[in-house]
Amino acid sequence: MSTPVLYVGNKNYSSWSLRPWLALAWAGVDFDTKVIPLGGDHYGKMNNPAILAVSATGRVPALHLPSGRVVLESLAIAEWAAESATEPGILPKDRELRAQCRAVSAEMHSGFGAVRSELPMNIRRRTEPRDWSDLARHEIQRLIDLWQELLAEHGGPFLFGHRTIADAMYAPVCTRFRTYGVELPAAASAYCDAVFADADFKRWERDALAEEWAIESTDAV
């Protein structure tokens, strides 16, 4: 193998897969993508043999490097992409902004559990707005505040002006807000529109819309 291979889940549903895929694409890394359909009896149990064959945790994404090393965890893969990036890069050049970008990326990686469970990524789906739990509402507000602060500070259209790993981490949240009809203030809405207009995002979305696999438990949320 001379090109890194990113193993991902269904593009319609796998938010953790979309994140490093965008980071690699934005970084200008040459890589191949292999989709492993999630769902069925193994779903959520981390015992899918097709995933275990490429990922010791039973989870995707998994990046297989030409050396034979395997990098797991979406954020670590996004960091690897940032270190491999061609100009202009996907981390801010300024040291403090880089730290800020890593902090908000880590916040997404470790947090927003209620949004992740109550509003699972489902790119092709559209629902009417509904009532969320208090915790989900609190997290939605934190997401909006965080985005709006960064957009005001850096001038948009992306969180740090240009595309960074933070946008890769938050892109699935934009799709969730669109799927579940979450009303957004103008700046947050414009941010999501910038993500949706991105050529690489559109490539992923096109594949997601063309997929025929369904995960009924997610479709019913």
Ligand X SMILES: N[C@@H](CCC(=O)N[C@@H](CS)C(=O)NCC(=O)O)C(=O)O
**Footprint on this chain of ligand X (rule: CB under 6 A):** 9, 14-17, 38, 42-44, 46, 48, 51, 59-61, 73-74, 109
Specify whether the CB–CB gap between 65 and 4 falls below 8 A: yes
Task: Please state the closest distance from residue 56 (CB atom) to ligand X, in A.
Answer: 12
Residue closer to ligand X by CB (options 78, 184) is: 78
Exposed e or buried b for every residue in 177-191, given b needs 16+ CB within 10 A?
bbbbebebeeebbeb
Residue closer to ligand X by CB (options 9, 92) is: 9
Task: Please state the closest distance from residue 95 (CB atom) to ligand X, in A.
Answer: 25
Can you give the length of the chain in residues? 221
The 8 Å CB, 24+ separation contacts for 135-141 are 138/114, 139/111, 139/112, 139/113, 139/114, 139/115, 140/115, 140/177, 140/182
Residue closer to ligand X by CB (options 15, 100) is: 15
Task: Please state the closest distance from residue 45 (CB atom) to ligand X, in A.
Answer: 6
Residue closer to ligand X by CB (options 151, 180) is: 180
Task: Please state the closest distance from residue 61 (CB atom) to ligand X, in A.
Answer: 5
